């Protein structure tokens, strides 16, 4: 989504844009004026050919740790004037309020491995500036949403239509979050601001938040959704610890990012991106999102089954669970078994990955 937002905004400025992706061009990519290179960025031979033609700016959305950063910096060196690294606001300890980029980050205070790894990549880039011929800028996005994503605590990032489908059918919607306030940003705001950092000398060697001027509680977001859908969601507030048993990645996302109060000061990026509006009308943009989702109706069966599983485990005697068919109960049980195995496999992969990092 973030890459798409930057692509669309850059095309609107008249820039010549090249997009690299593993899959063939699809959706909006086919309809806007961009060059498309299909291939795997993590294939060194392909990546070297791709950057070899030379660019003014390279935006890398696929750096997740220090090793990724070392590789990307090596590959793009000599082939661009500016590297823009898309980091995350998860590099900060949560909770925080009206947080500025100038606040010192104490890595030991950050509890989420995703944020820790992204921060280590930032630190490598900043400490090796003199080793490379390009300038760099780091963007730390917050919860960014658009056509395919709704800014709520627990919902899939793809196939988010299933959340709306549950609301429209009167099915319980899982909530793990409290009524905390969180920074969010519509993709159009993000893209319009990001492209103004391209070759902007004031942005070299700097870190920026890009967020809306307003922040929201998830209750407020759901209230807007209710006004659009015309139906009040039926919420089921569950213990996040139960989520950990079946999807530890989603659990960490909830407890380290979505649950805590977290708002950002966006004055630094506003000072170098004049002419950009940093606020979007939430009802207006969510109406467009819901229209887009309804039109395509891409469903997320994992999200749907996980929601039913957590309800069934939390309150097996509830009216909703009693209404489920035997076939659905069987589906949920099979899903639970697969989810536990997948969770275990992911833990093993993450452990092995951490060992390899230490040895390399």
306-333 confidence digits (pLDDT tens): 999 999 999 999 999 999 999 999 999 9
pLDDT band per the 50, 70, 90 thresholds, residue 236:
very high
Q: Is the pLDDT of residue 355 over 90?
A: no
Predicted confidence at residue 29, as pLDDT, reads: 54
Q: Is the pLDDT of residue 295 over 70?
A: yes
Alpha-carbon Rg of the chain, whole angstroms? 21
Give me the residue label for tokens 């994503």: 149
Please, which contacts does 320-324 make with residues 24 or more away whose CB atoms are closer than 8 Å?
320/171, 320/172, 320/236
Averaged over 272-283, what is the pLDDT? 94
Predicted confidence at residue 159, as pLDDT, reads: 64
Q: Is the pLDDT of residue 234 over 90?
A: yes
pLDDT band per the 50, 70, 90 thresholds, residue 343:
confident
Predicted confidence at residue 157, as pLDDT, reads: 67
Q: Is the pLDDT of residue 354 over 70?
A: no
CA atoms of 289 and 106, how far apart (whole Å): 37
CA atoms of 38 and 141, how far apart (whole Å): 26
pTM of the model as a whole: 0.91
Residues 189-200, buried b or exposed e (16+ Cβ, 10 A)? Answer: bbbbbbbbbbeb
Domains of the chain: 2-359 (3.40.50.720)
Share of the chain above pLDDT 90, in %: 83
CB 219 within 8 A of CB 37: no
- Give the Å distances, CA to CA, from 12 to 15, 34, 212, 271: 7, 11, 21, 22
pLDDT band per the 50, 70, 90 thresholds, residue 27:
low
Q: Is the pLDDT of residue 334 over 60?
A: yes
**Closest C-alpha among 1, 49, 5, 355 to residue 194:** 5
Mean model confidence pLDDT for the chain: 92
> What number of CA atoms fall less than 13 Å from residue 197's CA on the CB side?
31
CB 252 within 8 A of CB 113: yes
């Amino acid at each position: 989504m973030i890459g798409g937002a930057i692509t669309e905004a850059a095309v609107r400025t008249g820039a010549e844009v090249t997009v690299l992706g593993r899959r063939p061009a699809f959706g909006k990519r086919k309809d806007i004026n961009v060059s498309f290179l299909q291939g795997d960025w993590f294939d060194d031979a392909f990546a070297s050919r791709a950057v070899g033609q030379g660019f003014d700016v390279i935006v890398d959305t696929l750096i997740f740790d220090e090793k990724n950063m070392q590789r990307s910096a090596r590959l793009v060196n000599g082939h661009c004037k500016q590297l823009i690294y898309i980091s995350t606001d998860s590099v900060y300890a949560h909770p925080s309020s009206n947080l500025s980029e100038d606040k010192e980050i104490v890595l030991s205070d950050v509890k989420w491995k995703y944020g820790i790894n992204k921060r280590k990549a930032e630190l490598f880039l900043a400490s090796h500036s003199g080793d490379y011929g390009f300038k760099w800028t780091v963007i730390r996005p917050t919860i960014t949403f658009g056509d395919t994503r709704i800014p709520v605590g627990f919902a899939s990032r793809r196939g988010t239509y299933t959340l709306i489908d549950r609301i429209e059918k009167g099915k319980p919607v899982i909530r793990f979050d409290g009524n905390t306030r969180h920074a969010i940003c519509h993709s159009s705001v993000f893209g319009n601001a990001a492209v103004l950092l391209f070759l902007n000398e004031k942005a070299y060697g700097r870190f920026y938040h890009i967020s809306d001027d307003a922040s929201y509680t998830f209750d407020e977001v759901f209230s807007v959704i209710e006004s659009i859908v015309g139906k009040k969601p039926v919420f089921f507030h569950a213990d996040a610890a139960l989520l950990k048993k079946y999807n530890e990645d989603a659990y960490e996302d909830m407890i380290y990012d979505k649950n805590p109060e977290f708002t950002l000061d966006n004055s630094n990026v506003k000072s170098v991106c004049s002419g950009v509006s940093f606020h979007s009308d939430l009802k207006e943009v969510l109406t467009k999102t819901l229209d887009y989702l309804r039109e395509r109706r891409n469903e997320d069966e994992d999200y749907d089954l996980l929601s039913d599983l957590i309800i069934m485990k939390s309150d097996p005697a509830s009216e909703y669970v009693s209404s489920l068919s035997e076939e659905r109960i069987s589906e949920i049980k099979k899903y639970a078994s697969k989810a536990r195995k997948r969770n275990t496999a992911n833990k093993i992969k993450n452990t092995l990955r951490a060992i390899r990092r230490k040895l390399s």
